[in-house]
Amino acid sequence: MRRRINSVSLKNTFKTVLKIAFLLVGFFFMHQLYKYSFTIKKTECKDTQNNPCPDAIVAELKRYIGSNLITFKPEEVISKIMGSSIQYDNFNLAKKLPGTLSGTLQVSEEVALLETSTTSAYLVVLENLAVSDSTDEAILNIPLVKVESSPQITIGEKLTDLRILGGLKLLTYLQSNYVAFKDFTIATDSAHILTPQKSKVLFDTEKDFSRQLQSLQIIVQSELETPPSEIDLRYDKPILRD
Q: Residues 145, 169: contact at Cβ < 8 Å?
A: no
User: In terms of domains, do 119 and 99 share one?
Assistant: no
Give DSSP secondary structure letters for 165-202. HHHHHHHHHHHHTT---S-EEE-SS-EEEE-TT--EEE
User: In terms of domains, do 152 and 77 share one?
Assistant: no
User: In terms of domains, do 62 and 116 share one?
Assistant: no
User: In terms of domains, do 78 and 119 share one?
Assistant: no
Q: Give the tens place of pLDDT for each residue, 69-123.
A: 888 888 999 999 999 999 999 999 998 888 899 999 999 988 999 998 777 678 9
Interatomic CA distance for residues 185 and 150, integer angstroms: 13
Cα dihedral value 110, 60, 48, 134, nearest 10: 10
User: In terms of domains, do 43 and 71 share one?
Assistant: yes
Residue 23 lies inside a defined structural domain of this protein: no
Residue 11 lies inside a defined structural domain of this protein: no
Last residue of a domain, one of 56, 74, 107: 107
Q: Give the tens place of pLDDT for each residue, 220-241.
A: 888 777 889 999 999 999 999 9
User: In terms of domains, do 89 and 207 share one?
Assistant: no
User: In terms of domains, do 150 and 168 share one?
Assistant: yes
User: In terms of domains, do 117 and 221 share one?
Assistant: yes
Query: Quick check: 56 pLDDT over 80?
Result: yes
Residue 6 lies inside a defined structural domain of this protein: no
User: In terms of domains, do 143 and 64 share one?
Assistant: no
User: In terms of domains, do 142 and 158 share one?
Assistant: yes
Q: What is the overall mean pLDDT for the chain?
A: 85
CATH of the domain at 65: 3.10.20.310
User: In terms of domains, do 233 and 118 share one?
Assistant: yes
Range of the domain at 138: 110-237
User: In terms of domains, do 117 and 186 share one?
Assistant: yes
